[in-house]
Chain A
């Protein structure tokens, strides 16, 4: 379906529409929202990883001068034990409520227990110390393999394992187990000349967005609730708040402010329902802001995991069988991304004989949330290093091995469906042809590694409307919050259709009352699906404008052509008018033109990348230095190449942080001990070289311009690529993330 190739706007690099606001400090993020009569809320959190809440006495806090209201789980309306569809994925409403304010038990340190609204933030903070909570401290379980043991402390005494649709007899921390299988793995291993099996562990890591969560809520006596906040999805907030507080969606209006990063972590709600409850009690607007420690301890990170991968191959480099055992920490409630991990673990490759087992396991940590290609990085760390070991054993170049084993369109995957087209071989070839791959490695203790990352991408629902302005520009109203420049990439797709410059589009991210339903900015879907809706809305405008030209010239609409921004008629006398000229004449041809477009596209088109990294390992300290980094990726068609490169660079660096430093460090009481940016160390610019992003374009047949989402894929490959490079540098294979200096020295046998 991809149209023509000689685009005028698509593929160019205009200045983003919200740019001036963002470099001058004028852009208003959630925490910047101000209104008259504002109260400030603060949240009391459990100091224990696992404890029964025997009683909560709020009377002293309520009596504190300046306090206006206190809420606990007792203030929730009763809800059914039911699974609600929340746009991206589904969740049990009881779990959602219980995570927002703990009921019978606190299930992780940082679990929200009560909240206060007061005249200023400091007064609210003082009042938190006056809430008396009686806890019965219970033994915590923090690691997935410990939680799976028969005698492990149970988080939910009534939870039974969903074992391929059957419920287990005994209660367990294992929420679910599933298996995908095809062919005969044993037969495959018999055909193999080399079989490698290894175990891997990864620790909990956080998205690390710089802006903490925030919410301001105002409940009116007529039952209308308004929430101003930073979120990846205004409609997702509306849906969750509606379920948690049992208010009809039509009574909840969510106004998305600018958002300071999300990466999957700003889809779930934590303090938004609390701000709403405090506003209901006080009748005043209430603003609640998280601290950085709150963000680490109280919001969803991505899981720690245990992964075992076994793979067999022939001496000529053909994969004969592969198996993966994936056990993921869901956090305090079921719902880890182990399903996505199982989907992605062998996705780049043709595997005729294989088994994939997935386990979703609850532990006393915050409920996990999405984080950029959730699950795929944990899985690829294992699979892509096993492949490297096989390549070494059979003496094959790892890029050649990938080309040889690449899944092709229509190959049946282990989980059943056929593989769609994606430019895997093209990204590998791009890496092979890049000067980095053939550059000599100089010095001692240096090594080069490669790895691939695959992500299916998502489509989901989007709405866009377009108003034509008399000066020949358009205003474009969209429901996708803009985290990384999508106002520009969506506006450009409408501009391309209408033959106008990107600068002639004024994009606005609207609230839930002002635009059609739109799913979250997540799943690498925004430039793809909301871009698709913008394309449809622009097509609608184009058709209406053709009719206006026809009216002007008194010809049939069928006789009007539109090309390169110019409407023309060849029948009768030749006439033409450009978009701007026609926009000036709307009043005399019938009034305003408003276009609308919706999308729920079924072919998001996967994205894939191949990363090449050079490292130097300090043999005395175990510190890994990234010397050079190149990331190739199939973007389908890059609408705004600068922001596609930015996604690739930013994702790669998050992967580097995950590989080298980042982890939640727990003590024996199950308390996170490093809940600050000093101790949970994300990469700084001093840790890094330039990141060379190479865009490969194999058009996605499921999008008019061939777009594939690009946001998530680049985080997947880095840990495996770095581990493979470290092996080349040291002769040691790292099987635990992060590869922090201590772990490196231990693996090298130095400590």
Chain B
């Protein structure tokens, strides 16, 4: 077994350190080492977006980042989005718009939507569709997801 790497990083605003194998992806580290299972594995090759997280302000697929690369960086995951007594407005909008069915893609979509609204608080429908095209949903046909992001944009802007 290869020697493990020691990583010090920031996840959802808190200092975190862990050991991981050099070959482990960030997605594996999140799920298997840190037990943050909100990021999901749908394809493990960057095509479905179910493992979307925000790394130093940038939306990434955690299956395409190595766990060892997190050293000194700052990561946002779905687990850090809600306040103890209050969901994030994007989370509320997904619930109110019934924008999920099975829910497996939902954490990824919410993180992708957050990354969009962080940099573009008033996106057009086309901009929302363009931005979210890296996230696959097989249940909803996307209609209610796009509407939820439109609603969330209204609430947050």
Chain A residues with CB under 8 Å of chain B are 13, 15-16, 18-20, 22-29, 31-32, 34, 66, 122-123, 207-212, 258-263, 289, 291-292, 483-485, 640, 642-643, 645-647, 649-654, 676-678, 682-686, 688, 690-691, 693
Are A261 and B79 neighbours in the complex by a CB distance under 8 Å? no
State which residues 98-154 of B face A: CB under 8 Å.
98, 100-107, 110, 128-130, 132-147
Can you show 18 pairs from A to B with CB atoms below 8 A apart?
A16-B98, A23-B106, A23-B110, A25-B38, A26-B38, A210-B40, A210-B102, A261-B102, A261-B104, A292-B42, A645-B98, A646-B101, A651-B141, A677-B48, A677-B136, A678-B47, A686-B130, A690-B143
Complex formed: what's the CA distance from A434 to B40 in Å? Answer: 40
Are B140 and A29 neighbours in the complex by a CB distance under 8 Å? no
Q: Which residue of A lies closest to B21 (CB)?
A: A122
Q: Which B residues are CB-close (under 8 A) to A209?
A: 102, 104, 138
Q: Which residue of A lies closest to B41 (CB)?
A: A31
Q: Which B residues are CB-close (under 8 A) to A289?
A: 41
Q: Which B residues are CB-close (under 8 A) to A291?
A: 44
* Cβ-defined partner of B42 (8 Å) among A211, A645, A690: A211
Are A292 and B45 neighbours in the complex by a CB distance under 8 Å? yes
Complex formed: what's the CA distance from A649 to B140 in Å? Answer: 6
- A interface: dominant SS: loop
Complex formed: what's the CA distance from A15 to B134 in Å? Answer: 27
Are B142 and A260 neighbours in the complex by a CB distance under 8 Å? no
Chain B residues with CB under 8 Å of chain A are 1, 21, 23, 31, 35-45, 47-48, 50, 77-79, 81-82, 87, 91, 94-98, 100-107, 110, 128-130, 132-147
Are B142 and A685 neighbours in the complex by a CB distance under 8 Å? yes
Closest 8 CB pairs of A and B: A25-B38, A260-B104, A653-B141, A22-B103, A642-B98, A25-B78, A649-B141, A677-B47
The answer to whether A15 and B102 touch (CB under 8 A), given A210-B40, A646-B139, is: no
The answer to whether A210 and B133 touch (CB under 8 A), given A23-B94, A484-B139, A646-B98, is: no
Complex formed: what's the CA distance from A210 to B105 in Å? Answer: 7
Q: Which B residues are CB-close (under 8 A) to A31?
A: 31, 37, 40-41
Complex formed: what's the CA distance from A24 to B142 in Å? Answer: 19
Complex formed: what's the CA distance from A485 to B37 in Å? Answer: 21
Q: Which B residues are CB-close (under 8 A) to A684?
A: 132-136, 142
Are A690 and B133 neighbours in the complex by a CB distance under 8 Å? no
Complex formed: what's the CA distance from A691 to B129 in Å? Answer: 14
Q: Which A residues are CB-close (under 8 A) to B50?
A: 210
Are B40 and A211 neighbours in the complex by a CB distance under 8 Å? yes
Are A653 and B142 neighbours in the complex by a CB distance under 8 Å? yes
Are A212 and B139 neighbours in the complex by a CB distance under 8 Å? no
The answer to whether A643 and B95 touch (CB under 8 A), given A25-B37, A682-B136, is: no
Are B45 and A676 neighbours in the complex by a CB distance under 8 Å? yes
Complex formed: what's the CA distance from A266 to B112 in Å? Answer: 28
Are A24 and B81 neighbours in the complex by a CB distance under 8 Å? yes
Q: Which A residues are CB-close (under 8 A) to B141?
A: 646, 649-654, 683, 688, 691
List 11 additional A-B contacts (Cβ < 8 Å) besides A23-B100, A23-B110, A483-B102: A26-B38, A31-B37, A292-B43, A292-B45, A642-B144, A650-B138, A684-B135, A685-B129, A685-B135, A688-B129, A691-B143
Are A258 and B103 neighbours in the complex by a CB distance under 8 Å? yes
The answer to whether A649 and B143 touch (CB under 8 A), given A122-B21, A210-B136, A485-B98, is: yes
Q: Which residue of B lies closest to A206 (CB)?
A: B138
Q: Which B residues are CB-close (under 8 A) to A18?
A: 103
Q: Which A residues are CB-close (under 8 A) to B41?
A: 31, 212, 289
